Structure 1
Amino acid sequence: MPLPGNLLTTAMAVMPHTDVTRALDMALSLDVPFWPQLPNFSYYEDMYVQAAEHFPGIILDVGNRTLRFSIDRFAEEFEAALARFDDPGYFDVSETYSAVYHRFLSLDLADRPAIRGQLEGPVSFGFNVLDQDERPILFDDTVRPFMLEFMAKRLNVQLKRLKSRNANAFMFVDEPGLQFLFSALAGYSDIKAKGDLDQFFAQVDRPRGIHLCGNPDWDFLLNLDLEVLSMDIYTHAEIFSSYAASIRRFLDGGGLIVWGIVPTGMETFSHENLPSLIDRLESVWQALTKKGVDRDRLIAQGMLSPATCCLVNPDREKTVERAFASVNRMSRQMRETHRLG
């Protein structure tokens, strides 16, 4: 499957919109569209809640917007969950948990360079979902192996459905929690995380990648068995540029980097323009090229996207839409500059 590079555009899925049609239209305005996640429209669309659908032991209170876990309930529901493990419908995203996923799948998307789906990853899910003792379920040696397999099945079912609409479909595993992995307070070592993520990705169909907006250990991340890395280069340009050896190895293996370059925060966005953003990204590439990373690969195996999602601006929908438009303009200009057609 050819991964879409050459500075085509996509974006992370979490969007601030409450107008479902408008959100879908914005996603379709990009070269590689996706189905939006709309937590301001419904709590079911919170990325952790969406990933938790059918997970045994989950206690969801939509009215109070809380997501909890009970080990006793997990034990009660475990056998019933195992009995459904060969049922693709059990692992798919239902219409209750997404207002737009099934609409997206009903569209004719075959002529797009690719399409994309997403699901919250096991590390972030396990860190953020707490049990009855306020303990992250990631630390539970009984729950964690099941969680890895459960999330892998959910990713595979979604990817299969997306591939039925476009053969070049791929998945983002959203892992914001990876930036906390190496904190002394995490209580979850990099060795343990590497083993768990290797086990997880061994069960996940290709092509697959990780998306996060934070600042993890980039050596750790770039050496996972991935095809795609989506990240916020606008904020982390200087730090990321210092990992040239791992970036070169990732690209040499055919990896694709999604450069999140256009800010979605209203104040930050207002201080930038197209030339300044292009210069910011080109400066990163120049720094990496000086350290031995092939410039042609950075471009051919690169996409452009907004830097982050944004749910907090007073005019968050307008700012996000402007960021999407800026990404598209930036792509057109840079593709012309680099003669990409």
Structure 2
Amino acid sequence: MKLIGNCQTTAMGILPHTDMEKALELSLSMDIPFWPQLPRYSYFEDMYVQISEHFPGIIVNFEKQNISFSLDKFYQEFDNLMNNWDDDNFFRLSPDYSVLFHRFLDMDLTGYQYVRGQNIGPVSLGLKILDENKKSMIYHEEVKSIIFDFVARKTEVQLKDMLEKHPGSFVWVDEPGLEMIFKAFTGYTSDGAQRDYHSFLEKFPGPKGVHLCGNPDWSFLLQLDLDILSADVFTWGHIFSRYKEEVKTFLERGGIISWGITPTLTEEYEKENVKTMIEKLEEMWTYLEKSGVPRRQILSQAWLAPSRCCLVNVDGEVTVEKSYRLLKAVSEHYKNQI
């Protein structure tokens, strides 16, 4: 599937809403809608909990709302995973773990060119969840390869289910942990991550997309075999755009960049408007254009998105919804130039 940019709007999966219908309405207001993840609605909707369904060794405490890992439990449940490896139902996102996913697929999505799903990525999953000794499960060598293969299998089945409903479906992975691997204290080197990620992407079905809100080694990401890179350029664009040669090569390969531009944090949003958002994009895009990246190519291979998810605003979903409306106005400005 060849992806078209043209400054279409999309967004990350996590929303602060507790009302499913309002969350779906907001998602469907985007050019590329997605099934929402609503951790405030239910802990089942937390992205780490959702992906963990049937992963051996995982312990989810719904009362305390935390998730952990046990190596002993991993060994006890490992054979069950292997025995069910070829069974799509085993890897399917069940209604218990996401009401929104199934509600989204029941809707009429025929008016959209693309629709998107998402999973937490393997690096983030492996770094986030700790065992009883506070050790990330990705540091258990016998577990690490299973994490990557498990996420790839989950993504494969999610995409299959979505493709039954819409031919323009794709799934990307959220990878906040990719920023962490470049910190010396993690013990998981970028060389190791690169090998693991290349292997993971070979198993990744459909267009290969990664989203993150942090500031990783952009060269590392832009040189991966990705079709989509989604980034928070509101915060990190002044750094990201300086990787001009890598961006140029990424676009020449046909990649889509999802430029996360409109802020969702209340204090940041209140300082911005359509004019300032356009100015921020123009600064980055003009720099790339002067570095040899044609403006037409930037626009034709660009999606626009909010800068990041946000669950901390005291106004709940209000600022997030304003950010989506601002995004649509910025998008319309650029669509008129294409």
Same fold at TM > 0.5: yes
Q: CA deviation at 1:83?
A: 1.1
Q: CA deviation at 1:23?
A: 0.4
| Distance (whole Å) between structure 2 residues aligned to residue 328 and residue 149 of structure 1 | 37
Deviations 1:42-64 (A, max 9, x none): 11111111111110111110000
For 1:43, the aligned partner's letter is Y
Secondary structure, aligned partner of 2:2 = coil
| Distance (whole Å) between structure 2 residues aligned to residue 223 and residue 230 of structure 1 | 14
For 2:27, the aligned partner's letter is A
| Distance (whole Å) between structure 1 residues aligned to residue 134 and residue 332 of structure 2 | 49
2:33 match? 33
Secondary structure, aligned partner of 2:182 = coil
Contact between 1:262 and 1:305, CA under 8 Å: does it hold in 2? yes
Q: CA deviation at 1:263?
A: 0.2
Give 4+ residue runs of structure 1 displaced > 2 Å after superposition: none
1:97 match? 97
Secondary structure, aligned partner of 1:185 = helix
1:200 match? 200
Q: CA deviation at 1:201?
A: 0.9
1:293 match? 293
Q: CA deviation at 1:132?
A: 2.2
| Distance (whole Å) between structure 2 residues aligned to residue 180 and residue 162 of structure 1 | 31
Secondary structure, aligned partner of 2:141 = coil
The equivalences for 1:1-341 within 5 A come to 1-336=1-336, 338=337, 340=338
Residues matched between the structures, number:
338
Q: CA deviation at 1:108?
A: 2.1
| Distance (whole Å) between structure 1 residues aligned to residue 110 and residue 203 of structure 2 | 26
Structure 1 residues without counterparts, runs of 5 or longer: none
Q: CA deviation at 1:295?
A: 1.5
| Distance (whole Å) between structure 2 residues aligned to residue 38 and residue 84 of structure 1 | 29
Contact between 1:209 and 1:226, CA under 8 Å: does it hold in 2? yes
| Distance (whole Å) between structure 2 residues aligned to residue 200 and residue 217 of structure 1 | 18
For 2:200, the aligned partner's letter is F
| Distance (whole Å) between structure 2 residues aligned to residue 160 and residue 4 of structure 1 | 21
Stretch moving more, 26-35 or 1-10: 1-10
| Distance (whole Å) between structure 2 residues aligned to residue 62 and residue 146 of structure 1 | 24
Deviations 1:266-303 (A, max 9, x none): 01101000011011101110011111122211100001
For 1:202, the aligned partner's letter is E
Question: RMSD of aligned C-alpha atoms?
Answer: 0.9
Q: CA deviation at 1:316?
A: 2.8
| Distance (whole Å) between structure 1 residues aligned to residue 199 and residue 2 of structure 2 | 25
| Distance (whole Å) between structure 1 residues aligned to residue 275 and residue 140 of structure 2 | 49
For 1:308, the aligned partner's letter is R
Contact between 1:179 and 1:216, CA under 8 Å: does it hold in 2? yes
Contact between 1:211 and 1:231, CA under 8 Å: does it hold in 2? yes
Secondary structure, aligned partner of 1:100 = helix
Stretch moving more, 80-89 or 306-315: 80-89
| Distance (whole Å) between structure 1 residues aligned to residue 285 and residue 222 of structure 2 | 17
| Distance (whole Å) between structure 2 residues aligned to residue 316 and residue 291 of structure 1 | 41
Q: What is the TM-score of this pair, normalised by structure 2?
A: 0.98
Q: CA deviation at 1:329?
A: 1.6
Contact between 1:256 and 1:301, CA under 8 Å: does it hold in 2? yes
| Distance (whole Å) between structure 2 residues aligned to residue 89 and residue 202 of structure 1 | 22
Identity of aligned residues (%): 44
Secondary structure, aligned partner of 1:309 = coil
| Distance (whole Å) between structure 2 residues aligned to residue 55 and residue 4 of structure 1 | 35
| Distance (whole Å) between structure 2 residues aligned to residue 297 and residue 106 of structure 1 | 36
Structure 2 residues without counterparts, runs of 5 or longer: none
| Distance (whole Å) between structure 1 residues aligned to residue 80 and residue 250 of structure 2 | 41
Q: CA deviation at 1:328?
A: 1.1
Deviations 1:43-88 (A, max 9, x none): 1111111111110111110000110111111111111111111111
